[in-house]
Amino acid sequence: MYTMHYDPVKNRIDIKIIKINKDNVDNYIADYTKVLESVKPGFIGLADLSESQLVTPDVAEKLGSLGPVSVDKGMRKWAYYTGSAISKLQMKRMFGELADAFEKREEAEHFLTN
C-alpha cells in the first residue's frame, strides 16, 4: 500500500509507503516511472516511511533500481523520514548517498527547501 503524488508547482514527488511487497512492487515501480515522465530537471522528492514495513531482499533489489533512474531524470534532492533505525539502514543499502534520512517530517522538509 502506498500513495504517490507529483506537484508540478513545487516540482516535487511525495510518496507515503505503508507496505511494498512482491505482490505490488512491480505496480509501484510502474507508477513511479509514470510520475517521472512529468518531472522537470531539478525535481525533489519526499518519502514518508513512518508507517512502512521493511521490505524483503528481493523487493529491495527491485526498488534499488529507481535511484539511478531518478538521477537520470534530474533529481536534485530526495529525503525520507522514518523513526526506525532498521528502515534507515535498509534505505541506505538500497539508495546509498542518493537519499538523506531524517526522523521527522519537519527535518526532511527543511532539508528539501534549503
Q: Please list the residues that pair with 46 across neighbouring strands.
A: 14, 79
**Which grid cell is 31?**
507508477
Is it the case that residue 47 has pLDDT exceeding 90? yes
pLDDT for the residue numbered 97: 78
Q: For domain 2-113, which CATH number applies: 3.40.50.300, 3.30.750.24, 3.40.50.1100, 3.20.20.70? A: 3.30.750.24
Listed by start position, the domains of the chain span 2-113
- pLDDT single digits (tens) 23-39: 999 999 999 999 999 99
pLDDT for the residue numbered 98: 79
pLDDT for the residue numbered 96: 74
pLDDT for the residue numbered 86: 81
- pTM metric for this prediction: 0.90
Q: What is the mean pLDDT of the chain?
A: 93
CB 31 within 8 A of CB 3: no
